Structure 1
Amino acid sequence: MASPDDMARAVSESMAQRTGRTLEEWVAVVEASGLDPLDQLSVRRWLKQEHGIAQNSQWAIAFEVAGRHGWVMPTADEFADQMYAGKKQPLRPLHDQVVALAASVGPEATVEGRATYTPIVHRRQFAAVGPGPRNTVRVGLRFRDAPDDERIVPAKGFAQATHWTHLVVGDDPGWLEGLLRQAYEQNA
């Protein structure tokens, strides 16, 4: 799977063809708009509402503008710190256990950061971990051929996952290892 920088670079290379302006030109437009360049959500909304810019291009432009004004993309741990701030803080050790387990199932597994979940990738995302409902940690798994295991159920719109389960503080996530390994292998 391409890194966020690789994806932004690919989007940028075709920006002029899709939008009529280069990335440099869009940066100048945003900077002249009076918007806070570090408020990426507002920049993306404005690009969509005022200019009809598609989502991938919105992200690339907002990311570039913010970066030029000092924003640095948080690390996976920094994103997790934000996800588990406040009343969700007790779930953080369980999150970290699941992420470590997922990262250990294959030599090419990498942990990335997102604002609402932590993706674990092997060419494609094979697992995702994030806060779930009612004081749970949600573990999403992406299968092409899902195993028959009653502990996982079909997922509903979570981070490219086809299946998921929810864990609570005190659960031992070790039972997930085989499922994580299968997901890893199916997303090579």
Structure 2
Amino acid sequence: MPNTPEPQKTAKTWKTMVDSNQALLVRKTGQDVAFWADRARNGGIKNDAELRAWMRDEHGVTGYAQYAVSWELFGYPDFMLRDADELIDGQYANHPELRPIADSLLAWASATEGVEIQMRKGYVSLHSPRRKFAQVTRTTNTAVDVALRLDAPAEGRVEALKARADDPFVRRVRLTSAEQVDGELLDILALALDQNT
């Protein structure tokens, strides 16, 4: 495995999405989440379905902006309150032998200009400045898959990935050891990054 520098970036978590949804709410309505939560409480809103209907039908607020108010009123899912270390630890808690694979991939992403790391409950997504180009997921008890938004033939280590018709992630590389995070794989990742930047 090539030498990889120590991680230099902080992985983003669901907090980024929460902040984004709250900012969207302000842009759409001119009011923050506290204002809308207070109005909903005063209006007797008791559950998420009532809140969504009230915001949509009476105030024209739809989509992600609604989530900001819903989470404020009814609580955040547990995984959204975890930091990046807790999220990655949870993904590999029962499969510690696979963690070095993820750590090697994250070291590359962290040291590569233009790559943003976003931690999720069950996977890690890698983003270019334009869009997501790779997803790292422990898919079996013995392997980690790197799903790729990649325009390249399915040959060698790059396999075709069965996906929905509208899913752009049609390639993958399956890894069973950290030694497989080698120069060839890093070149594949760099190509996916370049194609999606």
- Please state which band the TM-score falls in when normalised by the shorter chain: 0.5 to 0.7
Is the 2:55–2:62 Cα contact (8 Å) retained in structure 1?
Answer: no
The Cα offsets for residues 63-118 of structure 1, whole Å up to 9 and x where unpaired, read as: 44547xxx974332221112122x223221211112222333x3121212111111
Which of 84, 94, 97 is matched with 2:101 structurally? 94
The letter for the 2-side match of 1:76 is A
| Equivalenced residues, count | 169
1:79 and 2:92 aligned: no
1: CA distance, partners of 2:162 / 2:65: 28
Compared CA separation, residues 25 and 61, structure 1 to 2 (3 A): same
**Structure 1 residue 187: deviation in Å?**
1.8
2:189 is the alignment partner of 1:154: no
Q: Does 1:126 align with 2:139?
A: no
Q: Alignment partner of 2:109: what SS?
A: helix
Query: Partners of 1:135 and 1:47 in 2: how far apart?
Result: 43
**1:176 alignment partner in structure 2:** 185
Over 3 Å counting, the alpha-carbon distance change for 1:177 and 1:46 in structure 2 is: farther
User: What percentage of aligned pairs have identical amino acids?
Assistant: 23
Higher RCO (Cα < 8 Å, 6 or more apart): 2
Task: Note the C-alpha offset of 1:169.
Answer: 3.6
What are the superposed Cα offsets for residues 108-153 of structure 1, whole Å, 9 maximum, x if unpaired? 212121111111222122221121134321211123x335534222
Structure 2, unaligned runs of 5 or more: 1-11
Please give the alpha-carbon distance, in whole angstroms, between the structure 1 residues aligned to 2:153 and 2:46: 52
The alpha-carbon deviation at position 55 of structure 1 amounts to 5.1
**Could you say which residue in structure 2 is the equivalent of 1:109?**
115
Question: Given the superposition, is the C-alpha separation of residues 114 and 54 from structure 1 closer, same or farther in structure 2, using an over 3 Å criterion?
Answer: farther
Q: What is the SS of the residue equivalent to 1:59? A: helix
Partner deviation per Cα, 1:24-78 (whole Å, 9 max, x = no partner)? 354233696677xxxxxxx6x77569977855245323444547xxx97433222
User: Match of 1:137?
Assistant: 144
Q: Would the alpha carbon gap of residues 91 and 112 (structure 1) be closer, same or farther in structure 2, given more than 3 Å must change?
A: same
Is this contact kept in 1: 2:18–2:68, CA < 8 A?
no
TM-score between the two structures when normalised by the length of structure 2? 0.64
Which structure is larger by alpha-carbon Rg, 1 or 2? 2
Secondary structure at the residue paired with 2:174?
A: strand
DSSP 3-state at the match of 1:133: coil
Q: 1:113 touches 1:119 (CA, 8 Å); kept in 2?
A: yes
| C-alpha distance 114-147 of structure 1, shift in aligned 2 (>3 A) | same
Structure 1 gap segments, 5+ residues each = 36-42
Cα displacement string for residues 3-28 of structure 1 (whole angstroms, at most 9, x for unaligned residues): 525532443135549xxx97335423
